[in-house]
């Protein structure tokens, strides 16, 4: 029976200073809302749930205003109540109908927003990325906790051991506008 090696706790390879750059609220919300959705489903949502109803509303307003001008000379009172009641959406009914189906909303366990570690030197960032790639080559997986350990970043977030990467081919060291460097990593995935 083949034994599988457990990924080790790693030591820091950073010699300089690090800082943590946290995403603002809008960036975090965007990541959570669209993390698991592909561009096709987002486009479908925008077209069907935003643009089509807007065009219907504009068309309705044009037709009723034109009819009002022709028949009443523009003095008829418009009956907005009927129009508004026609377009009301029963959100609770939609929720009840979709309870047993897969939701487009991403649960907190599907996305791990790891901290962006800023390195004062490119050498430190490259050393961390190199160590992550070495771990990945040997164990076929690297965790967010190992990334933090390599970067000498201490966290009490235990979820860092449950998320990671099985592919770092797109990872690269990038210089921030502040002059510091960070490792541009793909999204972390849940691991078993």
| CA 142 – CA 188 distance, rounded (Å) | 10
pTM: 0.55
C-alpha separations of 158 from 19, 21, 65, 115, 163 in Å: 20, 20, 61, 14, 10
pLDDT tens for each residue of 136-157: 999 999 999 999 999 999 888 8
C-alpha separations of 166 from 15, 18, 144, 170, 189 in Å: 27, 25, 11, 12, 9
Residue 124: CB atoms within 10 A of its CB come to 23
Listed by start position, the domains of the chain span 18-35+108-190, 39-97
Identify the burial level of 188 via C-beta atoms within 10 angstroms of its C-beta, where 0-12 means exposed, 13-18 middle and 19 or more buried: buried
pLDDT tens for each residue of 109-129: 455 777 789 999 999 999 999
């Amino acid at each position: 029976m083949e034994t599988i090696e457990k990924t080790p706790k790693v030591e820091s390879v950073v010699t300089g200073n690090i800082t943590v750059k946290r995403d603002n609220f809008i960036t975090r919300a965007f990541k959570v809302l669209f993390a698991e959705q592909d561009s096709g489903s987002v486009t479908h949502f925008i077209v069907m749930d935003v643009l089509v109803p807007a065009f219907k509303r504009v068309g309705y307003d044009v037709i009723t205003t034109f009819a009002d001008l022709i028949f009443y000379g523009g003095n008829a009172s418009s009956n907005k109540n009927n129009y508004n009641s026609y377009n009301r959406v029963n959100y609770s009914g939609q929720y009840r109908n979709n309870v047993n189906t897969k939701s487009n909303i991403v649960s907190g366990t599907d996305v791990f927003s790891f901290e962006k570690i800023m390195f004062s030197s490119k050498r430190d960032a490259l050393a961390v990325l190199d160590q992550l790639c070495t771990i990945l080559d040997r164990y076929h997986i690297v965790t967010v906790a190992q990334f933090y350990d390599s970067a000498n970043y201490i966290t009490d977030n235990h979820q860092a051991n449950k998320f990671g990467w099985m592919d770092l081919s797109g990872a690269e060291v990038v210089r921030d506008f502040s002059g510091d460097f960070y490792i541009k990593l793909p999204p972390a995935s849940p691991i078993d």
